[in-house]
Amino acid sequence: MITIPEMLARNARLYPDDCALVEIKPSQKYRREITWKEFDSQANRMANALLATGIGKDDRIILWMMNSINWLIAYFGILRTGAWVVPLNFRFTSQDFIYCAGISEASTAIVGEEFLGKVDAARPQLKEIKRYIAIPDKAPDYMSNYKDFIARASDKEPRVQLRDEESCSLYFTSGTTGQPKPILLTHNNLKSAAITEWAHHHQTREDNFILIPPLYHTGSKMHWFGSLIVGGRATLLNEVSPRNILETVDKERGTIVWLLVPWVHDILVALERGELNRADYNLDSWRLMHIGAQPVPPSLVKQWKRVFPDMQYDTNYGLSESTGPGCVHLGIENEHKVGAIGKAGFNWEARIVDEKGVPLGRGHIGELVVKGDGVMKEYYKNPEKTAECLKDGWLYTGDMATMDEDGFIFLVERKKDVIITGGENIFPVEVEDCLHNHQCIYDVAVIGIPDERLGEIAVAIIDLKPGKALSEADVIEYCKSNLARHKVPRKVIFDKVPRNPTGKIEKPKLRQQYSRK
């Protein structure tokens, strides 16, 4: 089976004049599209330009840009050199950049306009990086201009043989649990993500994947890899709002959209409040909406299906350590099991184990472990953490889960997020699911904070829907009617719920903020 860069080359041969990528910025009335042949040629130019500077196998190249066609051109170009691509988070600071550059020992950085200031501030501490390539025309003198850099390079495929087992990308976790961890992936890891996704969602050349989440993450990009296999295009929507999402599906005839929980919330609220009218948009082409990256409230999915009853739905579970989504998935045929994350994905195995790694029976809570071709090579430069998470080919996810009598897996909580109050375990996801059912609540996070008597108490941070009102007593009374007594939050705080760019609740930030109060 060919590698991801070779899939692009094959599409350029088979469908040279078909549209491959579209990029949209609604506020600027900007739309750009390129064919498979143009995509392939530009990636080759990037690869050959890098090779001409001395870049070779196992060199590291930082990619710090906002979503764009140029991001994907650079990504595929770097892969074709045999070097490692090191994508960086939009939210990283100059200090994060210094940290990631130091860990990766990158020699080159490709930088978007939004990050020039951060790079400039960090540069005195980055002696290892010898070359900076800037996407905008106007950039500091020490940076090469992207257009000039690739202008004279050949558009022929470079003669670099890529092997499945070779390392090719270094992804840094989003950092919700502390300092970002570097995750080393191979060409086989990327390929396995594409195969699994295609097996789950049956993409064809006619599909148009509306690609919204950040490309630096292993999430939606790896979902689109399922379309890459068959020559299905992607549309990059760079400005997220309910209106922009619906307009893009309408105008571009989008067929698959991978959304984060907050965006689903926003679309439903906008429709409920009459800010958008579904009848104004032709959404007949939209065949599949799927969600991943964080626990999905069943009430949210049920509400979505009431509004879009004929649309397929799927939940996907994954980690950067498993090369993104798909190691466990619900399946479009299993909507009756909404609330579960599903069963082991195509070419994957999954188990629930105890603290000694012994498989547990149905209905018992333990740690979810998975095994498959997508399991990362290692935590780079961290053999202790690697040994802790990789055992006999199994990836220990750190997620507590249980399996029902039909073999469907239900997430319970992250190990570190379980609240122990007076000796009783509280799983925040269960309390959050309960509160999500309340018609006045937009978003919710439940955390544990220290308590002198009970060790920890559960605290609910609640973001209300616009125009709605609740008191702390209202929330506690609602929980008492729907939860066991020990699971009822002892405190309620009305505030925004912080989520990172991939939709995960930033619970360490909340614990730090509210433990002091």
Q: What are phi and psi of 69, to 5 degrees?
A: -60, -40
Q: How confident is the model at residue 342 (pLDDT cuts 50, 70, 90)?
A: very high
Q: How confident is the model at residue 177 (pLDDT cuts 50, 70, 90)?
A: very low
User: Are 410 and 450 in the same domain?
Assistant: no
> Residue 332 sits in which domain range?
316-416
User: Are 408 and 432 in the same domain?
Assistant: no
User: Are 380 and 495 in the same domain?
Assistant: no
With beta carbons less than 8 A apart as the criterion, state whether 407 and 421 touch.
Answer: no
Domain boundary among 354, 383, 416: 416
CATH number at residue 177: 3.40.50.12780
Residues 6+ apart with CB under 8 A from 178: 508
Q: Is residue 205 part of a domain?
A: no
Tokens of 26: 């609604």
Q: What are phi and psi of 420, to 5 degrees?
A: -110, 110
Residue in the structure block whose two tokens are 């009459």: 274
Q: What is the pLDDT of residue 283?
A: 97
Angle between helices 4-14 and 36-52 (to 10 degrees): 130
Statement: residue 176 has pLDDT above 60: no
Q: Is residue 329 part of a domain?
A: yes
Residues 6+ apart with CB under 8 A from 314: 200, 201, 288, 290, 291, 329, 330, 331, 332
User: Are 445 and 406 in the same domain?
Assistant: no
CATH number at residue 478: 3.30.300.30
User: Are 21 and 151 in the same domain?
Assistant: yes
Domain boundary among 366, 398, 416: 416
- Region 240-261: mean pLDDT is 95
User: Are 40 and 168 in the same domain?
Assistant: yes
Number of folded domains that form the chain: 3
- Region 145-153: mean pLDDT is 93
pLDDT digits (tens, 9 = 90+) for 274-320: 999 999 999 999 999 998 766 677 888 999 999 999 999 999 898 89
- Region 161-182: mean pLDDT is 82
- Region 33-44: mean pLDDT is 98
Q: Is residue 375 part of a domain?
A: yes
- Region 77-87: mean pLDDT is 98
**In 10 A of CB 208, how many CB atoms?**
23
User: Are 401 and 439 in the same domain?
Assistant: no
User: Are 495 and 511 in the same domain?
Assistant: yes
User: Are 494 and 388 in the same domain?
Assistant: no
- Distance CA(103)–CA(106), nearest Å, equals 8
**Residue 411, helix vs strand vs coil:** strand
User: Are 73 and 142 in the same domain?
Assistant: yes
User: Are 453 and 509 in the same domain?
Assistant: yes
Domain boundary among 193, 225, 259: 193
Buried b (16+ CB within 10 A) or exposed e, 160-180: bebebebbbbbbbbbbbbeeb
Q: Which of 55-59, 203-207, 290-294 is the least confident region? A: 290-294
User: Are 120 and 186 in the same domain?
Assistant: yes
Going by C-alpha positions, the residue among 71, 133, 75, 81 that lies closest to residue 108 is 133
Q: Is residue 43 part of a domain?
A: yes
Q: Is 433 exposed, middle or buried (CB count within 10 Å of its CB: 0-12, 13-18, 19+)?
A: buried
**Half-sphere exposure of 197 toward its Cβ, with a 13 Å CA cutoff?**
34
Q: What is the pLDDT of residue 129?
A: 94
Statement: residue 397 has pLDDT above 60: yes
Going by C-alpha positions, the residue among 224, 238, 211 that lies closest to residue 11 is 224
- Region 224-253: mean pLDDT is 96
pTM listed for this prediction: 0.84
Q: Is residue 311 part of a domain?
A: no
Q: What is the pLDDT of residue 447?
A: 87
pLDDT digits (tens, 9 = 90+) for 453-510: 666 788 999 999 888 999 999 999 998 888 877 789 999 999 999 887 667 788 878 8
Q: Is residue 216 part of a domain?
A: no
CATH number at residue 407: 2.30.38.10
Q: Is residue 430 part of a domain?
A: yes
In the chain, the percentage of residues whose pLDDT exceeds 70 is 95
Distance of CA 39 to the CA centre of its chain: 23
Q: Which helix (H) or strand (E) holds 284?
A: none
pLDDT digits (tens, 9 = 90+) for 403-448: 999 999 998 866 677 787 766 678 787 888 889 889 899 899 898 8
Q: Is residue 215 part of a domain?
A: no
